[in-house]
Structure 1
Amino acid sequence: MGRPRTVDHPDLPGHVTGIDKQPVEGPLRISAPGPKGVGGSGVAGDAVCNKQHHGGDDQAVYAVAREDLDGWERELDRTLPNGAFGENLTTEGLDVSGALIGERWRIGADVVLEVTCGRIPCLNFQVHLGERGWVKRFTRKGAPGAYLRVVEPGEIRAGDPVEIVHRPDHEVTVALQFRAVMTERALLPRLLAARDALHPEALKEAEKYVAKYGGGERQTGG
């Protein structure tokens, strides 16, 4: 979880952020925080300082696979502790970016979360890591981790098991959604197969594309 801190950087002067997540053992209360712009984190006590772009029911919890952090450690030749990407959950043995939109995870005894979309990298993320060109590099990798909404609230602790309790009947993964929104917009129509669980902003992008270009053939300007 993160506490508010002020960033001392020329690109973000006076910017207050909660991206610097530090490990805690718990128990931590997980619950739906409310709509975007009003609600913050789904993790009690975790700071969301820019509610225009972060937090809210459809981005209540952010998860990153430890295996992805390990891969970045090798590429960047530096240590990346759990929470380094600003994630609330660092998982092991779970293909987070390969999760299906609408996939549901039970964590511990009570909490159930539902996958909604991938993380969109921003300047704050780049400044936090201190890696030049990080937004572009992270985007090229295409393994963004997953945002989740809270279906069933409760408490979680470090070390709790994660069980996939529902996998929807489509093939729209977090990685596909991320590519469609960020780099390959001709993929946007495919996201509509996951419309019931898809993050509303991604759904809007897909519907807008289909209304303009139709069902998925790449068009000039698409």
Structure 2
Amino acid sequence: MTAKNGFIEAICISARKGVLKKAVEQALFEKNWGIRQDAHAGVWHRQVSLLAGESIDAVRKKIPGLRHGVFAENLVTRNVELAELTIGDRLCLGRDVVLEVTQIGKKCHNDGCVIKKKTGDCIMPREGLFCKVVKGGDVKVGNSCAPCGFNAEKCITNPKKGGEWE
């Protein structure tokens, strides 16, 4: 049995906090700042938020048609075991970007988000990951995504193999 390669399924941004994020094809991640043009960027510990696509799929069973960005997540990953990561672990995105996990989960706003009100549950408080940008660069939908420990030198892809991790 071969392992599936992790990748970025969606990138979402918003100009203001408190509104749904919209999906974009690519984004510029800035070191110690976050995603350019995203309202949550800044000098703090929650510059970028992530959710697993598999977790969103489970919610879609209760709310068909749910689109990316509804949880205010910046990145949706696929085939990445986000639940196995702990604070201090790093993720490499594409060729250049390195994120460091700074927080796991968060409290829903105003006694629960729209999702929690519709389904009785929200995945962000227990499954959402928050990161700071350790190394910046461009990220596109479809780019590789994988844990890379605490060593940014492991963040190397081989374009001849379609961006798979070496």
Same fold (TM over 0.5): yes
Choose which of 2, 14, 20 in structure 2 pairs with 1:2: 14
More helix by share: 1
Q: Which amino acid aligns with 1:60?
A: Q
Aligned to 1:126, what secondary structure does the other structure show? Answer: coil
Q: Which amino acid aligns with 1:166?
A: G
Q: Deviations over 1:92-113 (max 9, x none)?
A: 0012233122111110111111
Q: Structure 1 pair 44/103, CA: closer, same or farther in 2 (3 Å)?
A: same
The match for 1:143 is 126
Q: Retained in 1: the 8 A contact 2:28–2:139?
A: yes
How many Å separate the matches in 1 of 2:101 and 2:22? Answer: 23
Q: Which amino acid aligns with 1:158?
A: V
- The structure, 1 or 2, with the larger RCO (C-alpha pairs under 8 Å, 6+ apart) is 2
The match for 1:30 is 30
User: 5+ unaligned residues in a row in structure 2: which ranges?
Assistant: 1-12, 152-166
Q: Retained in 2: the 8 A contact 1:30–1:156?
A: no
Give the TM-score, by structure 1 length.
0.54
Q: Deviations over 1:163-195 (max 9, x none)?
A: 211179xxxxxxxxxxxxxxxxxxxxxxxxxxx
Q: Which structure is larger by alpha-carbon Rg, 1 or 2? A: 1
Question: CA RMSD for the aligned pairs?
Answer: 2.8
Aligned residues: 139
Query: How much identity, in percent, do the aligned residues show?
Result: 27
Q: Deviations over 1:47-85 (max 9, x none)?
A: 13xxxxx964311110000000011112x2332212221
More strand by share: 2
The match for 1:68 is 55
How many Å separate the matches in 2 of 1:152 and 1:65? Answer: 22
How many Å separate the matches in 1 of 2:37 and 2:80? Answer: 25
Aligned to 1:67, what secondary structure does the other structure show? Answer: helix
User: 5+ unaligned residues in a row in structure 1: which ranges?
Assistant: 5-16, 34-41, 49-53, 169-222
Which segment is superposed worse, 93-102 or 108-117? 93-102
Q: Retained in 2: the 8 A contact 1:18–1:47?
A: no
Superposed displacement of residue 29, structure 1: 3.2
